[in-house]
Amino acid sequence: MDWINFPIYTCFILIIWMLGLLFVSINSKRRFNSTLGNLLLIFGVLMLIAMLSVLWINLERPPLRTLGETRLWYSIFLSVVGLIFYWRWKYNWFLVFSFSMSGLFIILNIIYPENFNKSLMPALHSGWFVPHVVVYIISYALLGASSIVAVKQLFDTYVKGKSSSNAISLADNLVYLGFSFLTMGLLFGALWAKEAWGHYWTWDPKETWAFLTWSVYLIYIHGRIKDSLKENTAMWVLAFGFIILLICWFGVNYLPSTANSVHTYSKT
Amino acid sequence: MNTNRPTWTKPWSYKEGILISLSLLVLGFGLEYLSNGIGTDNLLIYPNNLYMGIIIVTLILFLAIIGKSWTITEWLQSTAAAICSIGLLLLVSLLMGLTLQYDDGAGETIRRLGLSHILTSWQYLLANLLLLLSLGLTTIKSIWNFSWNKLGFTISHLGLWIVIFGGNFGSIQLERLQVKLIEGEISNIAHNNSGSPIKELPFAIKLNDFILEEYNPKIALVYNEAGIMFKDESSSIVIAELGNYGTISNWNIEILEYIYSSAKAGNKYYQINEPGAAPSAFIRATNLTGTTVEGWVHCGSFNRQYESLKLDDEYSAIMLFPEPKEYISKIEILTTERPPESISLEVNKPYYIDGWKLYQMGYDYELGRWSNTSIIEVIRDPWLRIVYAGIFMMLAGAMFMFWVGSKKNMK
Ligand code: HEM
């Protein structure tokens, strides 16, 4: 990337976020601290969005193809989701977690910058491309957040010996929203696949793992109906779901079952 | 969940669910092994899929009407059954996600247990049957006691049932064939994957022209000795475009001239339009120490030699083959009833005719944009509309879910 100094620009965002989190966490009762903290966090997110927009214009295609580009979207959505849920539920720890996760993805991008390749194979020139991927990324951000809640809850239960009663309803909320997006992403993908590859579902490894991810969250949702599963079991399901989600997202390329997948664009 | 209740007494819950799911799994592996790993391939052919469908639907209606208050019916309508049946399918799919499918090199035991062809294995079929029963009965119950508040619930479950049913039993009737076309010639013979002609189509296709658009090629560095490309994730290519520049390794590369369709005469490249005339670029490479090398690179084609530019003892600059951007077949569809129709068939934009969908699939990759053959995929899926109806119901269900959110927090 010649047009922007990625490491310096993003390090600046990370520093702003750290300051923001500091102000929010330190004595958040004081109005001034919390407002300043929030403004800093928002400013950082806006800088990230600006960067993404410039990238989009420069690449002359939606930046949704390489792992590095999707990480960027993920960082943005994770931080936005973190802010919205913080405003709604006032969990400091949630804010810290979501911004740290988001920051982690930025750091990964600094360590492993990928080449920003302008060409896009013909099968990807489709009206379905952007809705499919954006819906997926929103859902990953929400489901990722729900898993953070689950891990925190499990930690509190087993290590601290006391758990919060609000956490599970936060997790439910995140999963319901995230799952509805995940379902849309899956179905958009199927409709697109019919147009591009001739069949809506071929159990290609990427599709198989997308189905696995979807099923785990489906189990969680049904386990929560009338407390069918114990709360702790449900939390384990969520934590496990995130592992499957991560495999689906990056791991698939490395599995033996992927030898002839059509979905591993970033390798070519 | 009441853990003191003895197993198999009413109402069944997780204990029974896990036992049922595991028995089905063992049964599946057993049947697969006994059938010598042939799986359900020969079983689920047309019209057996229709009989199978009728049996399932009848069974569901039977349980829902006659066996309404049976323990098993009530269990199948419970969330415990939902979780166990989704869990079973998840387990079977996990096996599919972890092993290479349709692998001819799979070991004997792997094959005999169905692990190399999960989709046509008994364990997969049984897992789907359990899911269809549970989901079907849940759906019927919600249709019996229909309420507007539960509309989202009803359509998402019904939609999913239709998708699983149509996707598994309907897609057996999917026909996926190819037609190989040569410019100026007409064909109505469809081939299968291995190239043997197997079907006469109800229409014929004539290829008038095949057009391939390409991206500008990329300039890259290769190691002279090893002959492999230099790659560091950040900046290992420069796109060949007049005036473009970039840094690869310790070399600054600048494109001084770029010709899309060119051929060499003497020691220079000229614009020329004939088959095989490929892109070339005149580049200037400057080292950090100030050394400058200038010269032509050319990517070559089926009838032209490529040309690289040696920079120093370590590297040479090369031009990669341009990548395809879009390919289009200008075709004419000929039928006995209607006047011929001219269409442009592009990737991602299939064309529908008489129950078949036509897809631009491939071309002669060696000839690239000079290819005068085009491969069209023709696909017929009589169940597509039914599955699509299910998909749209699920989409509507997902929107409901988004709108309503988790009820527990609505208070
Ligand atoms: C598209 C996928 C699915 C979605 C979005 C979904 C969603 C839901 C939701 C939101 C509920 C709660 C309804 C309420 O609160 O009244 C529910 C209940 C239920 N679902 Fe699903 N579900 C799906 C697939 C399945 C599958 C595959 C099964 C069974 C194999 C199943 C069986 C059940 C059962 C038994 C209930 C409880 C009904 C009751 O007790 O009233 N669902 N589902």
Judge if the beta carbon of residue B86 lies within 6 A of ligand 1.
yes
Q: Are B251 and B186 members of one domain?
A: no
* First-to-final CA distance of chain A: 20
Last residue of a domain, one of B295, B322, B349: B322
- Predicted confidence at residue A111, as pLDDT, reads 77
Test A225 with B79 for CB contact under 8 angstroms.
yes
Q: Please count the structural domains in chain B.
A: 3
Q: Which of A218, A220, A226, A227 to mutate to test the pocket of ligand 1 (most atoms within 8 A of CB)?
A: A218
Probe residue for ligand 1, chosen from B90, B126, B157 as the CB with the greatest number of ligand atoms within 8 Å: B157
Atom 15 (ligand 1) nearest CA: A225
The conformation of residue B319, written as its DSSP 8-state character, comes to E
Write the pLDDT tens digit of every residue in A65-106: 666 787 788 888 888 878 887 887 677 877 887 898 889 888
Q: How many whole angstroms separate alpha carbon A38 and alpha carbon B41?
A: 60
pLDDT digit string, tens, across residues A180-196? 999 999 999 999 999 88
Which backbone phi and psi does A57 adopt, to 5 degrees? -65, -40
Q: Does residue B150 belong to any structural domain of this protein?
A: no
Distance (Å, whole) CA B13 – CA B97: 29
Q: Which amino acid would we find at residue A6?
A: F
Name which residue leads in pLDDT, A241 or A124.
Answer: A241
Higher pLDDT, A38 or B39: A38
Residue A79, H or E segment: helix A67-89
State the pLDDT at residue B248: 85
Taking every pair of Cα atoms in chain B, the longest distance, rounded to a whole number of angstroms, is 93
Let me know if residue B313 belongs to a domain: yes
ipTM above 0.90, yes or no: no
Q: In whole angstroms, how large is the CA radius of gyration of chain A?
A: 19
Chain B residues touching residue A208 (CB < 8 angstroms)? 93, 96-97
Residues B232 and B299 in one domain: yes
Chain A: give the shortest CA distance to residue B347, in Å: 6
The Cα A122–Cα B329 span in angstroms is 14
Tell me which residue range forms the domain holding B86.
Answer: 14-145
- One domain, residues B42 and B94: yes
Instruction: Write out the two tokens for B331.
Output: 């075709």
Token pair of A59, please? Answer: 């690449």
CB atoms within 10 A of CB A203: 16
Closest CA to A172 of A226, A211, A102, A135: A226
User: What is the SS3 assignment for B260-289?
Assistant: EEEEEECCEEEECCCCCCEEEEEEEEEECC
B289 in a domain, yes or no? yes
Closest-approach residue (CA) in chain A for B79: A222
A29 contacts: CB under 8 Å, gap ≥ 6: none
**Residue B135 · residue B160 · CB < 8 Å:** yes
Residues 6+ apart with CB under 8 A from B187: B179, B180, B181, B204, B205, B206
Tell me: do B277 and B337 sit in the same domain: no
Name the domain boundary from B105, B127, B145: B145
- Whether B93 is covered by a domain: the verdict is yes
Q: B139 CA to middle of ligand 1, Å?
A: 9
Judgement on whether residues B339 and B266 belong to the same structural domain of the protein? no
Ligand 1 atom at minimal distance to the Cα of residue A179: 5
Integer CA distances (angstroms), A45 to A98, A137, A180, B293, B391, in order: 12, 16, 25, 44, 35
- Give the C-alpha separation, A129 to B387, whole Å: 21
* Helix/strand/coil for A153: helix
Q: How many Cβ pairs closer than 8 A exist between chain A and B?
A: 144
- What atom in ligand 1 is closest to the CA of residue A183? 1
* pLDDT on residue B24: 95
Q: Please tell me whether residues B314 and B347 are part of one structural domain.
A: no
Q: Quick one: B18 and B141 in the same domain?
A: yes
Single out the residue of B44, B53, B14 nearest to residue B124, CA to CA. B44
How far apart, in Å, are the Cα atoms of B127 and each of A169, B93, B132? 31, 10, 9
Write out chain B residues lying below 8 Å of A223, CB-based.
Answer: 79, 83
| pTM listed for this prediction | 0.82
**pLDDT tens digits, one per residue of B38-80:** 888 778 888 888 999 999 999 999 999 998 889 999 999 999 9
> Where is B220: in which H helix or E strand?
strand B218-223
Is B385 a member of any domain?
A: no
Q: From CA A26, how far away is CA B381, in angstroms rounded?
A: 62
Contacts with B360 (C-beta within 8 Å, 6 or more apart), sequence order: B327, B328, B329, B345, B346, B347, B349, B374, B376, B377
> Cβ(A159) to ligand 1 under 6 A?
no
CA distance B62 to chain A (A): 25
Q: Is residue B227 in a domain?
A: yes
In a domain, B315, yes or no: yes
Question: Is the CB of B138 within 6 Å of ligand 1?
Answer: yes
- Residue B154 Cβ < 6 Å to ligand 1: no
Q: How many A from CA of A248 to the centre of ligand 1?
A: 24
Closest CA to ligand 1's atom 13: B153
Does pLDDT of A239 surpass 70?
yes
Using a 10 angstrom Cβ sphere, with 0-12 exposed, 13-18 middle and 19 or more buried, the burial of residue B227 is exposed
State if residue A184 touches ligand 1 by the CB under 6 angstroms criterion. no
Shared-domain flag, residues B86 and B61: yes
Q: Are B233 and B308 contained in the same domain? A: yes
Contact B378, B358 (CB under 8 A): yes
Angle between helix axes A129-155 and A67-89 (nearest 10 degrees) is 60
Higher pLDDT, B106 or A33: A33
Number of H helices, E strands in chain A: 8, 0
Within a domain: B305:
yes
Instruction: Please give the residue that has the higher pLDDT: either A32 or B317.
Output: B317
Beta bridge partners of B332: B206, B342
With a cut of 50, list the residues of chain B below it in pLDDT.
Answer: 1, 409-411
Residues B99, A198: C-beta atoms closer than 8 Å = no
Residues B242 and B133 in one domain: no
Specify whether B24 is located in the same domain as B121. Answer: yes
Q: What average pLDDT does this structure show over A198-224?
A: 92
Would you say B408 and A221 are in contact if contact means Cβ atoms under 8 Å apart? no
**Residue of B131, B134, B138, B154 to test ligand 1 pocket, by largest number of atoms within 8 Å of CB:** B138
Q: Which residue of B has its CA nearest to A244?
A: B94
Do B223 and B306 have their domain in common? yes
B202-to-B173, B205, B353 alpha-carbon distances in Å? 18, 10, 10
